[in-house]
């Protein structure tokens, strides 16, 4: 290994095995740390509001909201773990050791896999609600939703474990130097991940939402054609259908944003067998993470219940007795 000046090394005492410090200017370090720290704080704070809202208020204890809660937990973990880790990796040396590097990669991958799984579950939920509304309440129950969420996280943990079991902490084949936390993707596993973690889930999501869109448009036209002839009793049904269509539209926007932010991340997977430590990889990772910050903003724009819940949380009214039963819908 080439010998460098000790001032350029992460661990000057390990002259022959230490990594070099990142070649980045002071101004760039300040800018990146400020930008990414801001996004991290927003991501953690906004998703924490969603988590508290869905967990606290009984009116929100519905299958769809439990799926949104699970999605917010995965986004919260990405904001809490991934961005701080990326700040350290990109602007400084990794001084936390190999074990923390392994945990960083493991938690990040679990959260990413869980996000994809939650998006699939949300698509199935909306497909059932719009395309088979008369059997929705029987087929999609709170217990089944919780079971699906549990299986989603369990599979994410198991799936992520397959990728980190050959990590440099156990296998020093890919060892380069001390002071860095590299993200390694085996060539074969990269394509397996591309198929199982991206192509198949995205195909399912797109097919279901195309079907939802076609049925939603048909139902909207039917309601406009008969809106003047409905009775008061039927008006309740029409209002309920409008609510379902609005929810489908909102979650459709959520999924569209998710796909836009997620696609570049999996383009990086095509570089399997290489150390993913490039500027494009950083951009793709940050874009994917930025999606975790956007999701709560989408809720705030389209869900009045979320705005009401945030108001009660910020004003600490949720600490009052009986606040769990508050009417926020």
Does 7 map to a domain?
no
Does 62 map to a domain?
yes
Residue 187 CB neighbours (<10 A): 12
User: Could you tell me the CATH number of the domain that includes residue 155?
Assistant: 1.20.1070.10
The structure tokens listed for 233 are 């009793």
pTM of the predicted protein model: 0.81
Does 118 map to a domain?
yes
Per the structure, the count of domains in the chain is 1
Does 1 map to a domain?
no
Does 182 map to a domain?
yes
Round to the nearest angstrom and report the end-to-end CA distance of the chain. 64
* Chain-centroid distance, C-alpha 307: 21
How distant, in Å, are the alpha carbons of 15, 96, 109, 111, 141 from that of 101? 22, 7, 12, 16, 39
Does 3 map to a domain?
no
Does 13 map to a domain?
no
Q: How many CA atoms lie within 13 A of 145 on its CB side?
A: 24
Does 249 map to a domain?
yes
Q: Tell me the chain's radius of gyration from C-alpha atoms.
A: 23
Domain hosting residue 182, numbered range: 22-325
Decide: helix, strand or coil at residue 175.
Answer: coil
pLDDT tens over the chain, length 329 residues? 444 455 577 766 666 667 777 777 788 788 888 888 888 898 899 999 999 998 888 888 989 889 989 999 998 998 898 888 888 887 788 888 788 888 888 888 898 889 889 989 988 988 888 888 888 888 889 999 999 999 999 999 998 887 776 555 445 555 567 777 776 656 677 777 778 878 888 888 888 888 887 777 776 666 666 555 554 444 445 555 555 556 666 667 777 777 777 777 666 655 544 444 556 666 776 677 777 888 888 876 777 888 888 888 988 888 888 888 888 87
């Amino acid at each position: 290994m080439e010998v460098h000046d000790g001032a350029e090394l992460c661990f000057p005492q390990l002259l022959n095995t230490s990594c070099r410090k990142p070649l980045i200017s002071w101004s760039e370090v300040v800018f990146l740390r400020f930008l990414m720290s801001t996004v991290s704080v927003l991501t953690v704070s906004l998703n924490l509001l969603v988590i508290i809202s869905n967990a606290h208020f009984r009116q929100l204890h519905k299958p769809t909201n439990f799926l949104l809660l699970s999605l917010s937990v995965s986004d919260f973990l990405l904001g809490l773990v991934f961005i701080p880790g990326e700040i350290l990796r990109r602007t400084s040396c990794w001084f936390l050791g190999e074990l923390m590097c392994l945990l960083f990669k493991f938690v990040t991958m679990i959260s990413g896999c869980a996000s994809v799984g939650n998006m699939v579950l949300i698509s199935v939920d909306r497909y059932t609600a719009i395309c088979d509304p008369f059997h929705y309440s029987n087929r999609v129950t709170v217990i089944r939703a919780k079971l699906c969420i549990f299986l989603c996280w369990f599979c994410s943990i198991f799936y992520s474990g397959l990728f980190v079991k050959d990590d440099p902490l156990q296998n020093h084949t890919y060892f380069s130097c001390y002071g860095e936390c590299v993200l390694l993707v085996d060539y074969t596993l990269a394509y397996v991940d591309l198929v199982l973690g991206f192509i198949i889930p995205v195909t399912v999501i797109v097919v279901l939402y195309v079907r939802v869109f076609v049925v939603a448009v048909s139902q909207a036209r039917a309601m406009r054609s008969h809106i003047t002839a409905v009775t008061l009793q039927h008006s309740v049904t029409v209002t309920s259908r409008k609510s379902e269509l609005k929810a489908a539209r909102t979650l459709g926007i959520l999924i569209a944003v998710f796909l836009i932010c997620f696609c570049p991340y999996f383009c990086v997977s095509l570089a399997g067998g290489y150390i993913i430590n490039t500027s494009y990889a950083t951009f793709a990772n940050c874009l994917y993470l930025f999606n975790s910050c956007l999701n709560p903003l989408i809720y705030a724009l389209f869900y009045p219940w979320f705005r009401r819940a945030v108001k009660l949380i910020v004003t600490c009214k949720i600490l009052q007795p009986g606040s769990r039963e508050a009417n926020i819908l």
